[in-house]
Chain A
Amino acid sequence: MCLAVPGKLVAISGDEDGPLCRIGRVAFSGVVKDVNLAFAPEARTGDYVLVHAGLAIAVIDEARAKLTIGDLEAMDTAPDGAGRR
């Protein structure tokens, strides 16, 4: 269950009504949509966020986005990141 799409946060509008109403403008390949940022309080302009049904559910870690199969062949990726090899 889970169509969530990465987009670039290009602007953040005010959250006068509280952090649950913080809205961002997110660009997906040439179209921009308003997205609720309540679940991504750490998101900043320029970040990529993962958007599901109108809400950002994560900020994408771009540094870890470059993982290739070569990297995987060379290392271990247990959730806590502790290397074994």
Chain B
Amino acid sequence: MELVDEYRDLAQSRECLRAISELVTRPWTIMEVCGGQTHGIVKFGIDRLLPSEVSLLHGPGCPVCVTPVEMIDSAIDIALSPDVIFTSFGDMARVPGCETNLLMAKARGADLRLVYSPLDALEIARANPGRQVVFFAVGFETTAPVTAMAVHRARAERIANFSMLVAHVLVPPAMEAILSSPERRIDGFLAAGHVCTVMGTEEYRPLSERFGVPIVVTGFEPVDILQGVYMCLRQLEEGRAEVENQYVRAVRASGNPTARDMITEVFQVVPRRWRGIGDIPASGLGLSPAYAEFDAERRFRLGRRDPAPEGECISGLVLQGIAKPMDCPQFGRRCTPEHPLGAPMVSSEGACAAYFKHRAKNARAAS
């Protein structure tokens, strides 16, 4: 497959690993802030190929992990309401709310439909004028223009039975919260390549300067990740702290202006609660006043929910790189991929799920 296979090339990967080994002189910890990058690292076994001095931490870069529990519960409530067709990306289907998840709601009669695109959800709304169609808009800035487009079209075409439950989050405020934590042990960041395809790279400069950390905008294939790691390590070894771009084939410093215009048109910046981390000001997107009628929280008269008790899940500490999954007393005991207590155990790129698989293999090897 063009423009994909080249970045899964064995020879190129080996070259990158060679360059990294020759470069590194001391231990460094790098955090990647995108579930897609975590996925690539786990899928291709990258972390175990890197020299032992290099530690990769998985950050809060996945909407599965950071969408607040209350939002999942709201989604379930709406999905179980009469005459509702609840549409969502597949990622959210198994994320636990307080008691259950969307897939289990489907077992109880919710009309849940998993879609590839919010535009498909809009099509469902056109085809079912007598039903309320709600789309669960989760994701970072990469996905915001896409969901914005759906609402924009709904308004233009007067598709009154369409609404969105919006839980978008923004990356830079999350990175700032992590960098501000006194316990943070992160030396450098790989920034989310597709987020930057939309937003550009400028907003990472103040973070890099203020906190003195290198930030490398990185793609998602193994060679991309290895190149990004190399560039980050090079800055660390040279004592630099700048924003650099590995993903040059898809990211320009100015991002995608048309996409950003759509975000500005439809959304406004709002405070957002991050699961496991807490409230971060100005870290989310909500519908702007002009599009308020399409807000599912308003349409279904959902009140503000109190923050759910965190329970035993220490996902916040894991997502910020302060604790490792194995530090959690429930890891592998009451919390497993079949019975997740929190979000990082649910998705294949959740830090806890990734560690769980490796742990299972090592345990079998030892027995």
Q: Which residues of A contact B (CB under 8 A)?
A: 1-6, 8, 20, 28-29, 36, 38-41, 48, 50, 52-55, 57-58, 60-62, 64-65, 67-70, 72-73, 76-80
Given contacts A2-B142, A60-B250, contact A54 B243 (CB under 8 A): no
Q: Taking the nearest CB of chain B, how far is it from the CB of A53, in angstroms?
A: 4
When the two chains form their complex, are residues A4 and B12 in contact, meaning their CB atoms are under 8 A apart?
Answer: no
Given contacts A52-B142, A62-B249, A69-B15, contact A1 B117 (CB under 8 A): no
When the two chains form their complex, are residues B36 and A65 in contact, meaning their CB atoms are under 8 A apart?
Answer: no
Residues of B within 8 Å of A78, CB to CB, are: 242-245
Instruction: Sample 5 A-B pairs with CB under 8 A, ordered by A number.
Output: A2-B34, A6-B4, A39-B256, A54-B116, A69-B226
When the two chains form their complex, are residues A53 and B116 in contact, meaning their CB atoms are under 8 A apart?
Answer: yes
Query: Taking CB as reference atom, which chain B residue is nearest A18?
Result: B156
| Interface pick from B98-106, B143-151, B293-301 | B143-151
Query: Taking CB as reference atom, which chain A residue is nearest B216?
Result: A77
Q: Taking the nearest CB of chain A, how far is it from the CB of B38, in angstroms?
A: 11
When the two chains form their complex, are residues A6 and B152 in contact, meaning their CB atoms are under 8 A apart?
Answer: no
When the two chains form their complex, are residues B193 and A2 in contact, meaning their CB atoms are under 8 A apart?
Answer: yes
Residues of A within 8 Å of B267, CB to CB, are: none
When the two chains form their complex, are residues B12 and A1 in contact, meaning their CB atoms are under 8 A apart?
Answer: no
Contact with A along B60-100 (1 / 0, CB 8 A): 01110000000000000000000000000100000000000
| B35 in contact (CB, < 8 A) | yes
| B189 in contact (CB, < 8 A) | no
Which of A39, A53, A54, A57 has the most CB atoms of chain B within a 10 A radius of its CB?
A53
| Interface pick from B195-203, B282-290, B320-328 | B195-203
| B262 in contact (CB, < 8 A) | yes
When the two chains form their complex, are residues A20 and B153 in contact, meaning their CB atoms are under 8 A apart?
Answer: yes
Could you tell me the distance between the alpha carbons of A52 and B61 in the complex, rounded to whole angstroms? Answer: 17
When the two chains form their complex, are residues B12 and A28 in contact, meaning their CB atoms are under 8 A apart?
Answer: no
When the two chains form their complex, are residues B1 and A64 in contact, meaning their CB atoms are under 8 A apart?
Answer: no
When the two chains form their complex, are residues A1 and B119 in contact, meaning their CB atoms are under 8 A apart?
Answer: no
When the two chains form their complex, are residues A68 and B193 in contact, meaning their CB atoms are under 8 A apart?
Answer: no
Q: Which of B19, B248, B256, B262 contacts A64 (CB 8 A)?
A: B248
Residues of B within 8 Å of A6, CB to CB, are: 2-4
Given contacts A77-B231, A78-B242, A79-B217, contact A4 B197 (CB under 8 A): yes
Q: Taking the nearest CB of chain B, how far is it from the CB of A70, in angstroms?
A: 7
Contact with A along B15-41 (1 / 0, CB 8 A): 110010000000000000011100000
Q: Which of B194, B201, B258 contacts A2 (CB 8 A)?
A: B194
When the two chains form their complex, are residues A58 and B197 in contact, meaning their CB atoms are under 8 A apart?
Answer: yes
Could you tell me the distance between the alpha carbons of A45 and B61 in the complex, rounded to whole angstroms? Answer: 34
Could you tell me the distance between the alpha carbons of A50 and B2 in the complex, rounded to whole angstroms? Answer: 12
Query: Taking CB as reference atom, which chain A residue is nearest B16?
Result: A69
Other than the given A38-B262, A41-B258, A52-B194, 15 more pairs (CB < 8 A) read A1-B35, A1-B194, A5-B4, A50-B197, A55-B146, A58-B256, A60-B3, A60-B250, A64-B248, A67-B248, A69-B226, A72-B246, A76-B244, A78-B243, A79-B244
Q: Which of B195, B202, B249 contacts A1 (CB 8 A)?
A: B195
Residues of B within 8 Å of A50, CB to CB, are: 194, 197, 250
| B259 in contact (CB, < 8 A) | yes
Could you tell me the distance between the alpha carbons of A50 and B249 in the complex, rounded to whole angstroms? Answer: 10
Q: Which of A5, A20, A28 contacts B149 (CB 8 A)?
A: A20
Contact with A along B179-195 (1 / 0, CB 8 A): 00000000000001111
When the two chains form their complex, are residues A48 and B3 in contact, meaning their CB atoms are under 8 A apart?
Answer: yes
Q: 6 smallest A-B Cβ distances: which pairs?
A: A54-B117, A2-B194, A79-B253, A65-B249, A1-B140, A29-B1
